[in-house]
């Protein structure tokens, strides 16, 4: 995203507020020969700048567009994909169309001006086809207002060429059976004209103003009317009237508490209304002065000093209460306007603040959406930009926990932004963590934030197409493996959802507790999401098998959990182990939450946070996330596995059969990638000196596998290029019932290997 330093500042504030990425000591797996995980060392050049190690290979082939019919063409996995009526919400709180339940694998489609903005018609058709072949059935349009207003001088004077391209792109996606999410307003500048020097300048503050200013609300309404209420000449319908529109996010990341944290102050625009509200709230001047520590006259004469938005003071608690009043009113007004314009589909907003105040604002909608990240660069790709190059397991996947614990019972839950962005060497973690846990939690859509989730070629020489940047998902082979696993583990349903979910009942005491208001639900509850499906609700659910935990305040949280443990025979009963240890003994199996070892139902997912490892075991897809080079412990079909570098290794059946019966399987290897001539000030690659450019540098894949794939009489292995075309054959042998395969990119003098097709005769 352009001007990402603003996004980074936003997320830095959230990290500080909600404790994301909190550290633990480095541990190796107990009894393992492996050392504690450390950041891989970079090579130091003559100029003292650290770059890609000398033994990394160059990715020479520019082609990225998936070849039709290749092993990477997933369109055959979902042959019935089409726009089959509008999206509705069923009685179980899931998205459905005329054909039934819909799980959305979502692609980002920002297409900002720095990347050339919306593609021409021929290229739009190519992108739409790529999205279909990659397994997507939903696209999230993002910053559409900024794209269409780029360089425009007059309000709502959308660039006619870009508007035409946007409408054509919508039609191309619809023809491929791909639904759309849209933001009613993404940019803080809305559709205002003459914003200089670009649309990411902070000239206006409409995200705040729509809560208090009738003119700003009218601007939002006019934006929706003139853009999404306008008839698309290629579909013959407006966006709002089209069955392909799956949902509207009223305002992207528009929560007042979040915006206050970004600005490090309560917005001045809310002062007049807040003063009037405080006068009503405090008819007794003495009570006001006791809470605010200021003279009562400060309200009337406008000398009131507003609290620090990150503080946990009684005064800021009042401000949060006023924020909730404004957000309820604004959301209600916007929803009413959307209905008046004829839109009947799902609506949501306030999608990135995991506090209780944010939870209450989201609870008014029939659909909940959330965002979370594991670290972001402080100044995007400017020299000196800092990214904490640390494992997400050090915080027990806290960014995922924040998402999971904000699901609200009975409502569809989506994640339209997540990421463990480039240049983190640990970003391969998200490529397995998110698809696996989204499936376990039975979410309704999720989307890795980016300019475009699929790209056509590394051979483009304009704008930002010249180098891998944070959020350039389609250009990052490591991130793209996660997109492949999203289609398989999540959308295809290889990993089964956990049911029934554990329910945290948030009573009025929890809603009133300052700790929850500011920081959200305690971490201990989030850890349950590493083992079980979780949800929150204002009331219990009286159904067999449902675990209801009533929480009235943070001080009673541990007591409530311990009581539940005693009633249900759960271990351990002490808070030390965290509340993830709620599972019945029969399902808990080998989990040891106190040690950071989490095993989900039936062992589909096993996480060892201390060792920074994860396994996923399902009949059709199995995967190992390895934090060290060396020999891995046998797991599932992987009876023997040795890798030369930390790596995600996944194997998926490409036909309807389990791996033990499959005749066609895809091996995926995700390790790391950096730009050529990319440089850092430190060997730990935290502080950027220079971005570099394509072609990418990647570690050679040197992997030895012994796979137990059932009764196989013969087999072949073909290394694939990133477009799915065949690159070279690799010898395969059958020994003692195992399929033996060795890859050595360095010896082969080849490009780095990411995909290998296995064809099996039975």
> Collapsing DSSP states into helix, strand and coil, what is residue 639?
strand
- Distance (Å, whole) CA 307 – CA 523: 26
Q: pLDDT value at position 40? A: 56
Residue 545 is predicted with a pLDDT of: 79
- Under a CB-based contact definition with an 8 Å cutoff, are residues 261 and 6 in contact? no
The gap from C-alpha 238 to its chain's centroid, in whole angstroms, comes to 29
Report the pLDDT averaged over residues 410-418.
98
pLDDT of 567 higher than 90: no
> Is the domain defined by 4-24+87-265+326-491 classed in CATH 3.20.20.80?
yes
Closest by CA to 266, choosing from 214, 314, 319, is 319
Q: What is the pLDDT, as a whole number, of residue 8?
A: 34
585: pLDDT strictly greater than 70 = no
pLDDT band for 394, please (50, 70, 90 cuts).
Answer: very high
Lowest mean pLDDT among 164-168, 254-258, 473-477, 506-510: 506-510
The residue with greater pLDDT, 114 or 546, is 114
Higher pLDDT, residue 596 or 171 = 171
**pTM: predicted TM-score of the whole model, two decimal places:** 0.92
pLDDT of residue 526: 80
Would you state the structure tokens that stand for residue 367, as one six-digit string?
């659909």
Q: Is the pLDDT of residue 563 over 80?
A: no
Question: Rounded to an integer, what is the distance from CA 82 to the centroid of its chain?
Answer: 25
39-59 average pLDDT score: 87
User: Which residues are CB-contacts of 404 (< 8 A; sequence separation ≥ 6)?
Assistant: 437, 441, 526, 529, 534
How many other CB atoms sit within 10 Å of the CB of residue 422?
24
- Whether domain 604-672+700-761 has CATH 3.40.50.2300: no
- Nearest Cα neighbor of 67 from 719, 723, 720 is 723
- H-state helical runs in 301-355: 314-340
The predicted-structure confidence for 185-233, as pLDDT tens digits, reads as follows 999 999 999 999 999 999 999 999 999 999 999 999 999 999 999 999 9
Which residue has better confidence, 512 or 346?
346
The pLDDT, as a whole number, for residue 570 is 41
Chain segment 422-466, per-residue pLDDT in tens: 999 999 999 999 999 999 999 999 999 999 999 999 999 899 999
pLDDT at 571: 37
DSSP-assigned letters across all residues of 14-27: HHHHHTTT------
- Phi and psi dihedrals of 344, rounded to 5? -115, 5
The three-state secondary structure class of 716 is strand
Q: Do domains 4-24+87-265+326-491 and 604-672+700-761 have the same CATH topology?
A: no
Identify the weakest region by mean pLDDT among 376-380, 432-436, 515-519.
515-519
pLDDT band at 548 (very low <50, low <70, confident <90, very high): confident
Radius of gyration of the chain (CA): 26
What's the pLDDT at 310? 86
What's the distance, CA 223 to chain centroid?
27
Q: pLDDT above 70 covers what percent of the chain? A: 88
Q: Which residue has the higher pLDDT, 730 or 571?
A: 730
Rounded average pLDDT over 554-579:
44
Domain locations along the chain: 4-24+87-265+326-491, 502-602, 604-672+700-761
What b/e sequence results for 706-735 when a residue is b if at least 16 CB atoms lie within 10 Å of its CB, and e otherwise? Answer: bbbbbebeebebbbbbbbbeebeebebeee
């Amino acid at each position: 995203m352009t001007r990402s330093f603003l996004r980074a500042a936003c997320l830095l504030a959230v990290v500080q507020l909600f404790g994301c990425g909190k550290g633990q000591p480095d541990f190796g797996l107990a009894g393992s020969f492996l050392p504690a995980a450390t950041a891989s060392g970079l090579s130091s050049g003559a100029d003292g700048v650290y770059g890609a190690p000398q033994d990394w290979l160059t990715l020479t082939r520019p082609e990225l567009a998936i070849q039709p019919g290749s092993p990477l063409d997933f369109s055959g996995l979902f042959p019935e994909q089409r726009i089959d009526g509008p999206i509705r919400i069923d009685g179980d709180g899931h998205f459905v169309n005329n054909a039934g339940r819909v799980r959305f694998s979502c692609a980002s489609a920002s297409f900002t001006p720095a990347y050339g903005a919306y593609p021409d018609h021929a290229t739009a058709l190519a992108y739409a086809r790529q999205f279909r072949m990659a397994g997507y059935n939903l696209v999230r349009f993002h910053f559409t207002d900024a794209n269409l207003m780029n360089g425009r001088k007059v309000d709502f004077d959308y660039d006619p060429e870009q508007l035409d391209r946007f409408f054509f792109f919508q039609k191309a996606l619809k023809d491929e059976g791909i639904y759309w999410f849209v933001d009613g307003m993404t940019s803080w500048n809305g559709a205002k004209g003459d914003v200089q020097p670009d649309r990411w300048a902070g000239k206006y503050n409409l995200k705040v103003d729509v809560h208090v200013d009738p003119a700003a609300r009218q601007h939002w309404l006019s934006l929706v009317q003139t853009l999404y209420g306008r008839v698309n000449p290629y579909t013959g319908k407006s966006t709002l009237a089209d069955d392909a529109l799956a949902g509207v996010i009223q305002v992207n990341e528009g929560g007042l508490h979040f915006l206050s944290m970004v600005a490090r102050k309560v917005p001045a625009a809310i002062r007049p209304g807040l003063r009037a509200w405080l006068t009503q709230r405090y008819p007794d001047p003495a009570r006001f002065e006791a809470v605010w520590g200021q003279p009562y006259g400060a309200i009337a004469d406008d000398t009131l000093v507003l609290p620090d938005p990150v503080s946990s003071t009684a005064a800021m608690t009042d401000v949060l209460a006023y924020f909730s009043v404004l957000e309820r009113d604004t959301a209600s007004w916007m929803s009413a306007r959307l209905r008046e314009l004829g839109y009947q589909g799902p609506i949501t907003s306030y999608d990135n603040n995991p506090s209780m105040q944010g939870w209450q604002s989201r609870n008014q909608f029939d659909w909940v959406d959330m965002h979370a990240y594991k670290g972001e660069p402080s100044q995007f790709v400017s020299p000196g930009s800092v990214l904490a190059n640390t494992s997400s397991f050090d915080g027990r996947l806290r960014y995922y926990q924040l998402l999971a614990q904000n699901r609200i019972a009975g409502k569809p839950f989506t994640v339209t932004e997540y990421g463990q962005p480039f240049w983190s060497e640990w970003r391969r973690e998200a490529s397995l963590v998110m698809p696996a846990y989204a499936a376990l939690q039975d979410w309704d859509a999720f989307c890795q934030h980016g300019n475009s989730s699929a790209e056509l070629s590394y051979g483009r020489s304009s704008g930002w197409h010249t180098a891998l940047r944070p959020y350039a998902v389609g250009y990052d082979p490591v991130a793209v493996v996660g997109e492949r696993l999203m289609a398989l583990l999540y959308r295809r349903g290889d990993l089964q959802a956990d049911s029934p979910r554990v329910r945290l009942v948030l009573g009025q005491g929890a809603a009133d507790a300052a700790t929850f208001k500011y920081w959200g639900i305690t971490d201990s509850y989030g850890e349950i999401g590493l083992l079980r499906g979780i949800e929150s609700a204002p009331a219990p659910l009286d159904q067999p098998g449902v675990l209801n935990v009533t929480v009235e305040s943070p001080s009673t949280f541990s007591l409530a959990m311990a009581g539940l443990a005693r009633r249900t025979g759960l271990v351990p009963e002490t808070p030390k182990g965290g509340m993830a240890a709620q599972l019945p003994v029969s399902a808990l199996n080998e989990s040891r939450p106190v040690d950071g070892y989490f095993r989900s139902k039936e062992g589909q997912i096993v996480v060892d946070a201390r060792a920074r490892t994860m396994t996923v075991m399902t009949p059709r897809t199995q995967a190992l996330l390895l934090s060290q080079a060396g020999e891995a412990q046998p797991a599932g079909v992987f009876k023997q596995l040795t890798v030369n570098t930390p790596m995600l290794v996944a194997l998926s059946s490409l036909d309807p059969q389990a791996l033990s019966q499959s005749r066609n399987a895809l091996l995926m290897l995700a390790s790391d990638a950096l730009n050529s001539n990319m440089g850092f000030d430190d060997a730990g690659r935290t502080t950027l000196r220079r971005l570099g450019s394509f072609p990418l540098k990647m570690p050679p894949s040197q992997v030895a596998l012994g796979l137990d794939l059932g009764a196989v009489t013969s087999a072949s292995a073909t290394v694939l290029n990133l477009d799915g075309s065949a690159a070279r054959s690799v010898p395969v042998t059958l020994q003692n019932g195992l399929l033996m395969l060795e890859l050595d990119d360095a010896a082969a003098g080849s490009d780095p290997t990411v995909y290998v097709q296995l064809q099996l005769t039975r």
